[in-house]
Chain A
Amino acid sequence: MRISHEWLTALLGPLPAPDDVARILTQQGLEVEALELRGAGLLGAVVAEVAKLEKVTERLTRVTLRTAGGEAVCVTGARNLSPGNRVPYAPPGAQLPDGRTLEVAELHGVPSHGMLLSADEIGIGPDHDGILILPQNAPVGDDVAHWLGLPDAVYEIGLTPSFAQHCQSARGIAQELAAPLGLRLPAAASESLAPREEAPRVTVDDPELSPLYAGIWLVRTAQVETPLWMRRRLWSCGMRSVSPIVDLTNYVMLEVGQPMHPFAQEKIQGGIHVRCAAAGERLLTLDGEERALDPSDIVIADARGAVAIAGVMGSARAEVDEATDRVFLESALFSARRVGRTMRRLGLRSEAAQRFAHGLAADLPLRAVARVRELAPEVGWQALPGGLTVGGVAPEAAPIRVEAAYVRTLLGLDLTAERQAAALESLGFSVDVTEDGLRVRAPRDRIDVRGACDVAEEVLRAVGIDRVAAVLPPPAPAVAEPEIYGLRRSALGAFMALGYRVAVSYSLVDPELLARIGQPAEVTIANALSGDLAALRTTLRLGLLQAVARNLARGVGEIALCEAGRVFHRQGGEVLEEESLGFTLCGPRAPLSRFGQQPVDFFDLKGDLEAALSALRVSDVEMRAGSDAALHTGRQAEVFAAGRRLGSIGEVHPDIAEQLGISERVLIGEISLQAVLASERPLVARPLPRYPALVRDVALVVDEQLPYDEVRREVADVLGGLLAADALFDVFVGAPVPPGKKSLALRLWLRSPERTLAEADAEEALANLLRRLGDRFGAHLR
């Protein structure tokens, strides 16, 4: 909502400076988002009278002006001048708001001393075709800026939905400004409309559509222009001046908040019918578009069909035009819910529709017609006595009972009932203070005030929110926090310690890409913004691989990224949200240096995951060859902890990588944090060993195809409690190891918890081990 300082002053009397008004409005909850100074910088323009007009060329006119000091001559292209007009004249030396300084110029050989100004050049309105004609009472020689009260501040106010109900009008904003300034907004007139004899029949199908449908008739009495003061207020609110009757309608809407619609009376055939649109009904609206209507839309129809979408937009068929000299002016209430829905569906956010959609006071249509009746003569029209009313004004709601103590608690302000009442009265409420509290009646426009908490908010606004002190609340008993939150932090922490950067990807992804990497979408969006945001992710892999591709495309190497977030699955009818952790490596691990640069491989990723799981206290981790089609057939593993599946790791299949725009080897892993949570070992320290360990190295020759894990499990099984630790420190294939065989070099740390092991104990244990490995795998010492 835009409103000018000039208009607020006209309603309330003298006001503080615009900066202060803006601050006060903002503190009241009417956030002034911008403050525009219209006409600032206009210097030296004066009121002059047109004395004589002479054509210079087809397009240019030489204007002789009467000024305070005598005569002046200038040349203009405007065609709206007549002798006797008072006009704004900027003589040489005058300055315009756009920064120009005027000089004597020559146009087609005729010297022009300065220029005549349009509304646009003065900075008060959009019109730039014609010269702004001033009223005849503008004294010749007066400074134009002074006479027009320039600069005039225009406040642009961002309205919250609650304020939109009563502050989409000059009077609404003035009421809000009156309270903190201690000013009074004079009451507005209302009228009940005596029925007119010749009124056409009006039928409203259902009061739900329109609880009050009223209207008056107006006839044109004179051909005049809309007065400048009215046009300036329309302009300041961002509207255009169209014709006197339309301007009047718009002006009253801006002043009191009631949208009205003028119908050309001769174009209405028979009675008026307020009904729902029929299925398949269409209407050519004023903007020239044919609109398909929905049965939830309300339409105004005559004998020949719909003439307007109620509260939203009219049609050309019944619109007023230059020849119209008799109108029916509709002033009604329409269902806020229905108008809002229609407005959103058709994308027609007209000034009228937005006001209807927020809801209007029950008696506002009658106040609006009273104001139209008052102002009509100013625009050359006359309202006929009486009018029509279908339905009625809903009675005022019962007063709201409010306990003074409730307000004190809620606001944290020690205000007596009387003080609360006074605060409310300053906002136009009427209040009775009784023994058990306050009985509050809100002004009719305040349809947003329904309960005690709404009343408390009004008290707060009236006394000022700054009066509330800052106090820490008393503590509350502790409740258990979700464990997953801490795990997510420590899992990311573990990967960060390993050199990974944390990524954050959209959880909305392209379902086609999900399918391509073998994890098709399970939860899709019914009204997606675009195809690439049409499904919830089933895996973190996609986002990470896209991040890899983007980084590679930007020439960034040494990629190590991890991400924690939810993935979405369906189980039966339910959506399952799982906390997941993804990690990826691509390119060399470290930047180029004299120490050499190795591209990462499967064992980098595996080693990182092992380290991270160890940091997260997950033990008994086991990795088995996997068969995920999105991964390299021979370089992937499924990850288990104590038999529970955690996830998988592997090198991305080259075809998949290529489809995502990655031409390098890229490694990816993903584990379920919920599964990790279930596998976490409690943090309890084990006693330190009391006896020294014996260290033995063995080099075993086994079949090349034998997975190492089988050897290792056998070693652990044979040595049992004696095996304190083990390490595989060499894998060798080639001569002198026979073809088809490989040599595995292991270091074993043997220790007894009960005593210092003797050499003989170690020899015996190793002999047992070698015998078993020989039996199981045909292994022998190298």
Chain B
Amino acid sequence: MLDVEALRGEALRDIAAAVDEAQLEQARIEWLGRKGPIADALRGIKNAPPDERRELGLALNRVRDALESAMEERRAALKASSVTARLAREALDVTLPGRPRAIGGPHPLQLAEDALVDALHALGFQLADGPEVESEELNFEALNIPADHPAREMHDTFFVEGHPGYVLRTHTSPVQIRAMRRHAPAPLRVVTVGRVYRRDDDVTHSPVFHQMEGLAVGEGLGMQHLKGTLYGLCRAIFGQDVRIRLRPSYFPFTEPSAEVDIGCVFCGGDGCRICKGTGFIEILGSGMVHPHVLREGGYDPARHTGFAFGVGVERIAMLRYGVDDIRLFFQSDLRLLRQF
């Protein structure tokens, strides 16, 4: 009589002793192969007494199943341990620094400019463009700044050699005239951004700097629309909670004119050195487009009104990013640029 249990025990020991795939396969052939003891025993069942045949067949099948699943398990275990071993071999010191990549990045002025233009795009304004070498007519006269006007003093102007009547534009406002002349009498919402030039050079002034201006012309536009647009713009730039104050002021190309202050972003309005204790910081000039300018742009001031506003891009960048010397923006110093 075959000792099924002994056979099972011996086979399981063999399977457990296999240390790799090859030995396991060897054990499989030895025990479960066609010439193995189980196959032998199954073939010999017919020689057993009839009342034991059934019992013996069931026992042998159970042993075969048990050996097969033990082999599966052993195979999986062997595979797992070989991967584990490989991974262990491949372990790294993960605290070593990674492969350095040089990353690029924007200029703070570009960030400020994009923020301004994106905000105005969202408010329905579209970009317009103009030359930096501009005629005196568009830079001054068309904007209601005749020769000898005191406002020309605030615009210390660079003149172009051998090109009479042309200046480096002192503001982006001539683009307003260009845009109006192109589109009058259609309603207009334009934004322009670019370089402007003044004969000034100190900590707060640079001979080259950037301005952004918005202009809206149409029927029925009033100061409430200017104020609504300024709120939209200032919230986009300085956050939803920004406080805004308008103060009457003077610009030759707008009437009425207003300076726009925001609640000081440094002290929250309590008063500090930067806001000179007032709790407010001046950021924008604005107003209703002067009838002279509307006429120059080809609009009829009896029918059309408009508003305009302008802001220094450097000023916004200085406030947003805490840069305190305007000249730093033009140095291309990577120690600054790599912070953006």
Contacts of B46 in A (CB 8 A): none
Measured between C-beta atoms, what is the minimum distance from B121 to chain A in Å?
Answer: 9
Alpha-carbon separation in the docked complex, A199 to B122 (Å): 71
Binary flags per residue of A383-427, CB closer than 8 Å to B gives 1, else 0 = 000000000000000000000000011111100000000000000
Measured between C-beta atoms, what is the minimum distance from A80 to chain B in Å?
Answer: 38
A501 and B334 form a contact (CB under 8 A): yes
Binary flags per residue of B132-162, CB closer than 8 Å to A gives 1, else 0 = 1100000000000000111101100011111
List residues of B (311-340) whose CB comes within 8 Å of A's CBs: 329-335, 337-338
Alpha-carbon separation in the docked complex, A481 to B99 (Å): 42
A508 and B337 form a contact (CB under 8 A): no
Binary flags per residue of A469-503, CB closer than 8 Å to B gives 1, else 0 = 11111111111011011000100100111111111
B337 and A503 form a contact (CB under 8 A): yes
* B267 sits at the interface (CB 8 A): no
Q: Name which of A3-11, A63-71, A521-529 contacts chain B.
A: A521-529
B258 and A465 form a contact (CB under 8 A): yes
List residues of B (265-292) whose CB comes within 8 Å of A's CBs: 276, 288, 290-291
Contacts of A160 in B (CB 8 A): 249-250
Most buried by B among A34, A162, A561, A565: A162
Contacts of B329 in A (CB 8 A): 504
Most buried by A among B148, B223, B229, B246: B223
Cross-chain contact of B199 among A453, A485, A527, A558 (Cβ < 8 A): A527
> Please, which residue of chain B has its CB at the minimum distance from the CB of A403?
B302
Cross-chain contact of B337 among A162, A341, A501 (Cβ < 8 A): A501
B150 and A161 form a contact (CB under 8 A): yes
Q: Name which of A82-90, A95-103, A121-129, A548-556 contacts chain B.
A: A548-556
A501 and B338 form a contact (CB under 8 A): yes
B332 and A527 form a contact (CB under 8 A): no
* B124 sits at the interface (CB 8 A): yes
B133 and A411 form a contact (CB under 8 A): no
Q: Name which of B26-34, B59-67, B105-113 contacts chain A.
A: B105-113
A472 and B103 form a contact (CB under 8 A): no
Given contacts A498-B104, A499-B103, contact A29 B247 (CB under 8 A): yes
Given contacts A457-B248, A502-B337, A504-B330, contact A575 B189 (CB under 8 A): no
A528 and B158 form a contact (CB under 8 A): yes
Number of interface residues of A (CB under 8 A): 100
Given contacts A453-B291, A470-B227, A593-B100, contact A409 B160 (CB under 8 A): no
Cross-chain contact of B187 among A471, A477, A501, A563 (Cβ < 8 A): A477
B128 and A473 form a contact (CB under 8 A): no
A472 and B123 form a contact (CB under 8 A): yes
* A262 sits at the interface (CB 8 A): no
Alpha-carbon separation in the docked complex, A468 to B168 (Å): 36
B131 and A551 form a contact (CB under 8 A): no
* A573 sits at the interface (CB 8 A): yes
* B21 sits at the interface (CB 8 A): no
Measured between C-beta atoms, what is the minimum distance from B307 to chain A in Å?
Answer: 8
Measured between C-beta atoms, what is the minimum distance from A354 to chain B in Å?
Answer: 9
Alpha-carbon separation in the docked complex, A703 to B207 (Å): 56
Contacts of A565 in B (CB 8 A): 195
Contacts of A409 in B (CB 8 A): 220-222, 305
* A778 sits at the interface (CB 8 A): no
Contacts of B246 in A (CB 8 A): 465-466, 468
Alpha-carbon separation in the docked complex, A502 to B332 (Å): 8
B126 and A481 form a contact (CB under 8 A): yes
Contacts of A507 in B (CB 8 A): 132, 195, 208
B201 and A529 form a contact (CB under 8 A): yes
Contacts of A524 in B (CB 8 A): 160-162
A475 and B331 form a contact (CB under 8 A): no
Given contacts A163-B250, A496-B104, contact A506 B208 (CB under 8 A): yes
Contacts of A412 in B (CB 8 A): 222-225, 227
> Please, which residue of chain A has its CB at the minimum distance from the CB of B257?
A457
The A interface, classified by DSSP as helix, strand, loop or mixed, is mixed
> Please, which residue of chain A has its CB at the minimum distance from the CB of B133?
A575
* B218 sits at the interface (CB 8 A): yes
* B102 sits at the interface (CB 8 A): yes
Alpha-carbon separation in the docked complex, A110 to B251 (Å): 64
* A589 sits at the interface (CB 8 A): yes
Cross-chain contact of A453 among B148, B249, B290 (Cβ < 8 A): B290
* A72 sits at the interface (CB 8 A): no
A575 and B163 form a contact (CB under 8 A): yes
Alpha-carbon separation in the docked complex, A474 to B219 (Å): 10
* B96 sits at the interface (CB 8 A): yes
List residues of B (216-268) whose CB comes within 8 Å of A's CBs: 216, 218, 220-225, 227-232, 246-250, 252, 255-259
Cross-chain contact of A550 among B186, B232, B259, B332 (Cβ < 8 A): B332
The B interface, classified by DSSP as helix, strand, loop or mixed, is mixed
Contacts of A473 in B (CB 8 A): 124, 189, 216, 218, 221, 225, 228-229, 307
> Please, which residue of chain B has its CB at the minimum distance from the CB of A525?
B158
> Please, which residue of chain A has its CB at the minimum distance from the CB of B218?
A476
B222 and A479 form a contact (CB under 8 A): no
Measured between C-beta atoms, what is the minimum distance from B211 to chain A in Å?
Answer: 14
Cross-chain contact of B109 among A453, A481, A489, A504 (Cβ < 8 A): A504
* B300 sits at the interface (CB 8 A): no
Alpha-carbon separation in the docked complex, A468 to B329 (Å): 37
Alpha-carbon separation in the docked complex, A357 to B150 (Å): 8
Given contacts A410-B223, A479-B126, A526-B159, contact A551 B332 (CB under 8 A): yes
Given contacts A507-B132, A508-B208, A575-B160, contact A525 B150 (CB under 8 A): no
> Please, which residue of chain B has its CB at the minimum distance from the CB of A563?
B332
Cross-chain contact of A26 among B158, B247, B288 (Cβ < 8 A): B247
A482 and B133 form a contact (CB under 8 A): no
Cross-chain contact of B188 among A357, A476, A504 (Cβ < 8 A): A476
A472 and B186 form a contact (CB under 8 A): no
* A144 sits at the interface (CB 8 A): no
B332 and A561 form a contact (CB under 8 A): yes
Given contacts A474-B218, A527-B159, contact A499 B104 (CB under 8 A): yes
A556 and B334 form a contact (CB under 8 A): yes
B255 and A411 form a contact (CB under 8 A): no
* A381 sits at the interface (CB 8 A): no
* A454 sits at the interface (CB 8 A): yes
A29 and B249 form a contact (CB under 8 A): yes
Contacts of A456 in B (CB 8 A): 255-256, 288
B335 and A547 form a contact (CB under 8 A): no
* A724 sits at the interface (CB 8 A): no
Alpha-carbon separation in the docked complex, A1 to B88 (Å): 81
Measured between C-beta atoms, what is the minimum distance from A424 to chain B in Å?
Answer: 14
Alpha-carbon separation in the docked complex, A452 to B154 (Å): 26
A471 and B101 form a contact (CB under 8 A): no
* A560 sits at the interface (CB 8 A): yes
Measured between C-beta atoms, what is the minimum distance from A21 to chain B in Å?
Answer: 14
> Please, which residue of chain A has its CB at the minimum distance from the CB of B111?
A502
Alpha-carbon separation in the docked complex, A451 to B166 (Å): 30
Contacts of A291 in B (CB 8 A): none
B208 and A476 form a contact (CB under 8 A): no
> Please, which residue of chain B has its CB at the minimum distance from the CB of A506?
B208
> Please, which residue of chain A has its CB at the minimum distance from the CB of B182?
A479
A472 and B229 form a contact (CB under 8 A): yes
Contacts of B220 in A (CB 8 A): 409
* A234 sits at the interface (CB 8 A): no
Cross-chain contact of B129 among A472, A484, A495 (Cβ < 8 A): A484
Measured between C-beta atoms, what is the minimum distance from A350 to chain B in Å?
Answer: 15
* B183 sits at the interface (CB 8 A): yes
Measured between C-beta atoms, what is the minimum distance from A493 to chain B in Å?
Answer: 9
Contacts of B128 in A (CB 8 A): 479, 481-482
A-B contact pairs, 9 of them (CB 8 A): A29-B247, A412-B223, A468-B246, A470-B228, A471-B228, A473-B307, A504-B332, A536-B168, A575-B163
Chain B residues close to A by CB (< 8 Å): 96-97, 99-107, 109-110, 114, 123-124, 126-129, 131-133, 148-151, 153-154, 158-163, 166, 168, 183, 186-190, 195, 197, 199, 201, 207-208, 216, 218, 220-225, 227-232, 246-250, 252, 255-259, 276, 288, 290-291, 305, 307, 329-335, 337-338
Shortest beta-carbon contacts, A-B, top 6: A412-B224, A29-B248, A412-B222, A160-B250, A547-B332, A457-B256
